[in-house]
Chain A
Amino acid sequence: MIDARNFMYMFYGFAAAFVILVVYVVSLALRERKLIHEIDRVRRMVEREK
């Protein structure tokens, strides 16, 4: 009885940890994409200015 309930919370715990990690990795990936676009844009701008 107790065990069943604890199983649920155990999964909540693992899920919480997993979600936090996933959110962070996704935010890193998004930032990476944004940076690559930004670098291309600025490089093109520098070329134009030359």
Chain B
Amino acid sequence: MSSFLRASYTIAAKDLRSEMRTKEAFNASFAFSLVILVLFSFAFDPSSEELQTISGGLLWMVFSFAGALVLNRSFARELQNDCLDALISSPAPTSAIFFGKTLANFLLLMIVEIAALAVFAVLYDTHFSKQFWPVVLVMLLGTWGMTVIGTMFSALTVNLRMREMMLPTLVYPLLIPALMAAMTLTSDLMSGTPLGGDNMIWLRVLAGFDFIYTVLAVVFIDIVLVG
């Protein structure tokens, strides 16, 4: 067990370190989120009622597009110099490789998302300070779901011809339940409704989604990577 965690940690650290050196994916996703948020702020009057209802949808759309930019590169960056083959033939179990990469992507995405959330709060003049921690909880759960599926399919599509097109095509439909849950929860939280009662269903859906897909991904990553 501890060797699994150690291997995951090593892989996660390697990915984060290499990303921090170039900051390619990070800059691209953050810039993209910024652009979308600014453009939308021109389209909508910040103080209006309708903004409250779409805020969740807008935020998670931004997060998922930013995520696509990060996740595409996740396994693709290992293709050069046969790094992927080297990783697979190393003594680290494939599930640890997957878990490490998922962790790295998750942390990277969370940083981008918190930054985007700050921009959103400023541009759209929202008041959700009472609900801040619930919003963060929803972001954590939703991002984990996005990252698990995204990293899994990044591994699946790594050797395919049209990788950049296949990844979003396969991932976005699968993310629909998680995105539905996250969007509804975030919209409610942004308009001040606390978690509980009606909302708990979506929170449970998110948690269940995360759990089920983490288990499935760890089980099937071997078949996908090694074949």
Whether the complex brings A and B within 8 Å at their CB atoms is answered no
